[in-house]
Amino acid sequence: MIRVDRARAPHDLVAAIDRVFELSATKIRSLDRSWTGRGAPVFTVDGRYTARGWTEWTEGFVYGAALLQFDATGEREFLDLGEARTLQRMSPHLTHAGVHDHGFNNVSTYGTLWRLAREGRIEANAWRGHFCELALKVSGAVQALRWTPRPGGGYIHSFNGAHSLFVDTIRSLRALALSHQFGHRLLGEQDVEIDLFQRLLQHASATAEFSVYYGRGRDTYDRRGRVAHESLFNPANGTHRGPNSQQGYSPFSTWTRGLAWAMLGFAEQIEFLDTVKDDAFTGQTRSEVDAWILEAARATCDFYIDHAACADGIPYWDTGAPGLAKLEGWADRPADPFNDVEPVDSSAAAIAAQGLLRLGHLLDRRGESGDRYTQAGLLVLATLFDEGGPYLSQSPDHQGLVLHSIYHRPNGWDHVPKGSKIPRGESSQWGDYHAREAALYVKRLAGGAPYLTFFGPEAA
* Whole-number pLDDT of residue 125: 86
Residues sharing a CB contact under 8 Å with residue 274, sequence separation 6 or more, in sequence order? 362
Give residue-wise pLDDT tens across range 179-205.
Answer: 999 999 999 999 999 999 999 999 999
Q: Is the pLDDT of residue 460 over 70?
A: no
* Whole-number pLDDT of residue 36: 87
Buried b (16+ CB within 10 A) or exposed e, 41-57: bbbbeebbbbbbeebbb
* Whole-number pLDDT of residue 173: 98
Q: Which of helix, strand or coil describes residue 196? A: helix
Give residue-wise pLDDT tens across range 244-290.
Answer: 999 999 999 999 999 999 999 999 999 999 999 999 999 899 999 99
Helix and strand element counts for the chain (H, E): 15, 9
- Reported for 103-106, long-range contacts at CB under 8 A and 24+ positions apart, including other chains, are 103/143, 103/171, 103/172, 103/173, 103/174, 103/175, 103/176, 104/57, 104/58, 104/60, 104/61, 104/171, 104/172, 104/430, 105/56, 105/57, 105/59, 105/60, 105/139, 106/60, 106/135, 106/136, 106/139, 106/175
When pLDDT is averaged across residues 367-394 and rounded to a whole number, the result is: 98
- 230 strand-pairing partners: 166, 244
* Whole-number pLDDT of residue 459: 56
Residue 235 banded pLDDT, cuts 50, 70, 90: very high
